[in-house]
């Protein structure tokens, strides 16, 4: 069945311009809230849906500017033979170049034959659907899709009200899973007089294939409807027709009484069964009503794991679970740019797939801080908690995600950072300075708009803490480390100092003089980060240290360290809204 090859939107809601060539299978739009993801799905639905009347208002125009008409154009490929005949749409058949995304007015030998359907809404708020072709316009020919073709191409929308698809109503997916139709008129009258079950026996014979498909699909997806689905009269219906027949479970309870998640899951499975007749699906906030394991089933039923996509699906999500289930070539980041909106394909290069698996939450944020290790994550989280307790705005509220790149190779943070940078995210790297990254790699990141905060003078985080905090705060760090590790920290200090410094000496120095010598600070920093046995090398430990010791001491500590922290939080606060 048909596939949307290109989507062009102008002056619709929050989208001034968008030109996007979607994938033939799963297309999941991600990005910060209010970036226009739902509007893209609505645009597809309004342009291609089988509706005779659609209500528009001034609020549907970009910036409420009714002088610039709304224009939505869908380029439709993979057309069936009947739609590609000269008799049907000859003057409107065009060519699509999949490599360049260009649409040519004349069909070409090596290009796909397509139709371009446009929806225009001017200031009178009256929608107009027409096929687009320059040569037809020159001949004064105006035409739109035949109603039967609109019905055949209309997408299925799996939303909060997906239960409309659980009855044999106009546009329902049940009318697509099978050619069977029930002649309901006489049977319905009799059933209304006698009993709802009287029609159920006849309907089981008339709709056996469709009911079998529903039963098998529900069992595969774990939706409990009993041993088999039944078609009984809908007790809420007051009119006689196809819509009066709806799906019921084994006990006769209407399936529309299922929970939102079960309804959406079942409709997704049925849509796949009907893929041969209508193969475009829309689902906004796909995770709505679904537990994590059912999100995986939902995506699987739509063909997310299939080599050959059975459906073309347009999704939006804010669920990290959904991102983990999808591959990079099924994800598109929707961004505003000076040229309008752009949909960036996430792709699978540059370690992007592993980044999606490890840090899916970051792809749902607007800004990303790539931290060299878990200690930096804990530091920022602890400082953030303290700031929140003081009435400040949290990093999460500012749309900032924190990424742990796992230490090791000093160039590794930039591998992760560039993966986000090329997709339009604001990215900062927070790194140690004891191992220098490759200068060319760091410079390229900066030139592409990246920000860097590095500790000073070849230091790691522990060096900065013991080198910058007040003596009293250093004493608190030692006390906390002792609570965590006991006598192990004594051995670490002996190793770092070559048996020349003890904790008693440090303690006495701070107590008697109120100061701590620079060389003793350096030794404590080295001891605190010995190999993988660091005193605070976990997110939770460093988070606690940052919230209870570092943050309260910042107004009194070394100004240079405080400036580094201010750079990070200042960058986060300056994110565009």
- Per-residue model confidence (pLDDT) at position 530: 84
pLDDT digits (tens, 9 = 90+) for 385-433: 999 999 999 999 999 999 998 877 899 999 889 989 989 899 999 999 9
User: Domain residues for 394?
Assistant: 365-577
pLDDT computed for residue 88 by the predictor: 86
d(CA 145, CA 163) in angstroms, rounded, equals 28
310 shares its domain with 445: no
Burial of residue 340, with CB atoms counted within 10 A of its CB: 0-12 exposed, 13-18 middle, 19 or more buried: middle
CA atoms 12, 13, 14, 20: torsion sign: negative
Q: For 527-533, what is the mean pLDDT? A: 83
Kindly state the average pLDDT of the residues 558-574.
Answer: 96
Summarised one tens digit per residue, pLDDT across range 97-147 is 999 999 999 878 788 999 999 999 999 999 999 999 999 999 999 999 999
pTM of the model: 0.82
Q: How far is CA 554 from the centre of its chain?
A: 37
**By the 8 A CB rule, do 98 and 78 touch?**
no
Structure tokens that stand for 278 in this block: 């209508």
In sequence order, the β-bridge partners of residue 233 are 245
The pLDDT confidence band at residue 577, using thresholds 50, 70 and 90, is: low
Residue 227 lies in a domain: yes
Q: Are residue 456 and residue 375 in the same domain, yes or no?
A: yes
Q: What share of the chain in percent tops pLDDT 70? A: 90
Whole-number pLDDT of residue 267: 75
Task: Identify the weakest region by mean pLDDT among 7-11, 69-73, 83-87, 144-148.
Answer: 83-87
Q: Could you tell me if residue 499 is left (phi over 0), alpha (psi between -120 and 50 degrees) or otherwise beta?
A: left
Of 435, 400, 428, the residue nearest 414 (C-alpha): 428
Lowest mean pLDDT among 28-37, 63-72, 453-462: 28-37
Q: Which of 34-43, 71-80, 218-227, 495-504 has the least mean pLDDT?
A: 218-227
Give the H/E segment covering residue 29.
strand 26-30
In a domain, 378, yes or no: yes
Q: Minimal CA–CA distance to 315: which of 342, 341, 285?
A: 285
* Rounded Cα distance, 49 and 68, in Å: 23
Residues with Cβ within 8 Å of 202's Cβ and at least 6 positions away in sequence, in order, are 182, 187
- What contacts 194, CB < 8 A, 6 or more positions away? none
Domain boundary residue among 273, 292, 324?
A: 273
Rounded CA-CA distance 185/194 in Å is 15
Tokens 């989208």, located at residue: 15
Closest by Cα among 554, 549, 556, 553 to 568: 554
- Assess if residue 569 is contained within a domain: yes
Using alpha carbons, select from 264, 274, 279 the residue that is nearest to residue 313.
Answer: 279
Residues 415, 327 share a domain = no
User: According to the per-residue pLDDT averaged within each range, which of 349-363, 428-442, 521-535 is highest?
Assistant: 428-442
Q: Is residue 356 part of a domain?
A: no
Q: Are 167 and 174 in contact (CB under 8 A)?
A: yes
Q: Which residue has the tokens 């069964």?
A: 273
For residues 431 and 502, membership in a common domain is answered with: yes
Distance CA 244, CA 212 (A): 20
pLDDT at 234: 65
- CATH code at position 44: 3.40.50
What share of the chain has pLDDT > 90, as a percent?
63
With beta carbons less than 8 A apart as the criterion, state whether 428 and 450 touch: yes
Q: Give tens-digit pLDDT for 352-394.
A: 888 888 889 999 999 999 999 999 999 999 999 999 999 999 9
Residue 451 inside a domain? The answer is yes
Let me know whether 380 and 487 are in one domain.
yes
The residue-averaged pLDDT of 162-170 equals 66
Q: Is residue 107 part of a domain?
A: yes
Q: According to the model, what pLDDT value does residue 65 have?
A: 96
Q: Is 239 helix (H, G, I), strand (E, B) or coil?
A: coil
What span, in angstroms and rounded, lies between the C-alpha atoms of 285 and 318?
A: 7
Looking at the structure, tell me whether residues 167 and 144 fall in a common domain.
no
Residue 383 within a domain = yes
Query: What is the DSSP track for 545-565?
Result: HIIIIIHHHGGGS-HHHHHHH
DSSP class of residue 450 equals: -
Residue with token string 């041993």: 227
Q: Give the integer Cα–Cα distance in Å for 294 and 287.
A: 9
The CA dihedral of 544, 548, 552, 557, to the nearest 10 degrees, is -60
**Greater pLDDT, 255 or 29:** 29
Whether residues 211 and 331 share a domain: the answer is no
User: How far, in whole angstroms, is CA 250 from its chain's centroid?
Assistant: 37
Judgement on whether residues 19 and 138 belong to the same structural domain of the protein: yes
Name every residue whose Cβ is closer than 8 Å to that of residue 48 and which is 6 or more positions away in sequence. Answer: 4, 74, 117, 150, 153, 154, 155, 280
User: DSSP 3-state assignment of 94?
Assistant: strand
The structure tokens 């530091």 sit at 379
CA distance 492 to 476: 17
Q: Is 209's pLDDT higher than 50?
A: yes
Indicate whether 204 and 315 sit together in one domain: no
Rounded to whole angstroms, the Cα distance separating 165 from 162 reads: 6
CA distance 423 to 441: 18
Residue 194 has pLDDT above 80, yes or no: no
Strand 367-371 with 400-404, pairing: parallel
Tell me the three state secondary structure of residue 431.
strand
- pLDDT band at 238, cuts 50/70/90? very low
pLDDT for residue 439 is more than 50: yes
Domain end residue (candidates: 251, 273, 295): 273
- Taking residues 497-504, report their average pLDDT: 93
373 in the same domain as 514:
yes
Per mean pLDDT, which range of 32-36, 267-271, 448-452, 566-570 is the poorest?
A: 267-271
Q: Both 234 and 134 in a single domain?
A: no
Tracing tokens 């698996």 back to the chain, one arrives at 357
Last residue of a domain, one of 217, 241, 273: 273
- Identify which has the larger pLDDT, 300 or 259: 300
In order of 12, 106, 555, the CA distances from 58 in angstroms are 10, 36, 52
Residue-averaged pLDDT of the chain: 88
Q: Is 197 domain-assigned? A: yes
Tell me: pLDDT of 160 over 70: no
**Weakest mean pLDDT among 22-36, 101-115, 190-204, 339-353:** 190-204
Q: Return the SS3 of 357.
A: helix
How many contiguous H segments (helices) and E segments (strands) does the chain have? 23, 19
* Residues 232 and 182: beta-carbon distance below 8 Å: no
Instruction: Please state at what angle helix 518-528 crosses helix 461-468, rounded to 10 degrees.
Output: 150
* Placement of tokens 């540059």 in the chain: 350
Position 410 scores a pLDDT of 92
Q: pLDDT of 310-345, one tens digit each?
A: 899 999 999 999 999 999 999 999 998 878 999 999
User: Which residue bears the tokens 């040229």?
Assistant: 339
- Whether 236 and 263 map to the same domain: the answer is yes
CA 184 – CA 206 distance, rounded (Å):
10
Q: Are 95 and 111 in contact (CB under 8 A)?
A: yes
DSSP per-residue codes, 185-211: HHHHHHHHHS-HHHHHHHHHHHTHHHH
The 3-state DSSP class for residue 504 equals: helix
d(CA 433, CA 410): 9
Confidence of residue 193 (pLDDT cuts 50, 70, 90): low
Q: How many domains is the chain built from?
A: 4
Classified as helix, coil or strand, 200 is helix
- pLDDT of 184 above 60: no
């Amino acid at each position: 069945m048909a596939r949307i090859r290109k989507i062009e939107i102008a002056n619709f809601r929050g989208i001034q311009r968008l030109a996007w060539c979607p994938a033939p299978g799963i297309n999941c739009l991600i990005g910060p809230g209010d970036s226009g993801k739902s509007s893209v799905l609505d645009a597809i639905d309004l342009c291609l849906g089988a509706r005779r009347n659609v209500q528009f208002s001034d609020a549907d125009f970009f910036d409420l500017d009714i002088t610039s008409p709304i224009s939505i154009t869908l380029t439709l490929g993979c057309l069936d033979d009947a739609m590609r005949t000269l008799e049907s749409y000859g003057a409107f058949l065009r060519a699509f170049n999949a490599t360049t995304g260009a649409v040519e007015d004349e069909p070409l030998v090596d290009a796909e034959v397509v139709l371009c359907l446009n929806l225009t809404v001017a200031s009178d708020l009256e929608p107009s659907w027409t096929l687009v072709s320059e040569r037809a316009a020159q001949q004064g020919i105006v035409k739109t899709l035949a109603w039967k073709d609109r019905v055949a191409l209309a997408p299925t929308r799996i939303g909060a009200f997906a239960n409309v698809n659980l009855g044999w109503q106009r546009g329902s997916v049940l009318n697509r899973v099978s050619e069977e139709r029930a002649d309901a008129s006489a049977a319905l009258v009799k059933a209304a007089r006698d009993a709802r079950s009287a029609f159920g026996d006849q309907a089981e014979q008339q709709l056996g294939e469709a009911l079998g498909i529903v039963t098998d699909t529900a069992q595969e997806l774990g939706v409990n409807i009993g041993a088999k689905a039944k078609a009984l009269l809908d007790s809420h219906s007051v009119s006689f027709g196809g819509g009066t027949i709806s799906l019921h479970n084994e006990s006769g309870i209407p399936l529309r009484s299922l929970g939102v998640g079960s309804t959406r899951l079942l409709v997704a499975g049925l849509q796949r069964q009907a893929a041969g007749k209508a193969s475009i699906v829309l689902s906004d906030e796909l995770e709505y009503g679904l537990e994590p394991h059912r999100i995986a089933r939902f995506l699987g039923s739509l063909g997310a794991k299939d080599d050959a996509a059975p459906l073309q699906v347009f999704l939006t999500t804010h669920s990290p679970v959904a991102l983990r289930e999808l591959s990079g070539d099924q994800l598109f980041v929707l961004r505003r740019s000076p040229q309008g909106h752009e949909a960036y394909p996430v792709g699978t290069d540059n370690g992007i797939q592993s980044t999606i698996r490890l840090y899916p939450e970051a792809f749902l944020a607007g800004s990303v801080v790539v931290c060299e290790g878990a200690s930096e994550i804990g530091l920022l989280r602890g400082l953030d908690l303290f700031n929140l307790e003081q009435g400040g705005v949290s990093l999460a509220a500012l749309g900032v995600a924190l990424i742990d790149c796992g230490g090791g190779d000093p160039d590794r943070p930039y591998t992760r950072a560039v993966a986000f940078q090329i997709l339009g995210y604001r990215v900062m790297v927070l790194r140690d300075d004891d191992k220098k990254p490759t200068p060319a790699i760091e410079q390229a990141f900066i030139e592409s708009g990246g920000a860097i905060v590095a500790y000073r003078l070849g230091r790691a985080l522990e060096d900065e803490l013991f080198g910058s905090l007040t003596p009293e705060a250093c004493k608190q760090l030692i006390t906390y480390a002792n609570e965590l590790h006991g006598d192990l920290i004594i051995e670490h200090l002996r190793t770092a100092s070559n048996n020349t410094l003890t904790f008693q000496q440090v303690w006495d120095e701070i107590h008697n003089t109120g100061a701590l010598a620079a060389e003793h600070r350096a030794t404590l920093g080295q001891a605190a980060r010995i190999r993988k046995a660091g005193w605070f090398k976990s997110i939770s430990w460093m988070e606690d240290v940052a919230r209870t010791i570092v943050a309260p001491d910042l107004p009194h500590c070394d100004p240079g360290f405080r400036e580094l922290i201010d750079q990070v939080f200042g960058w986060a606060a300056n994110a565009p809204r």
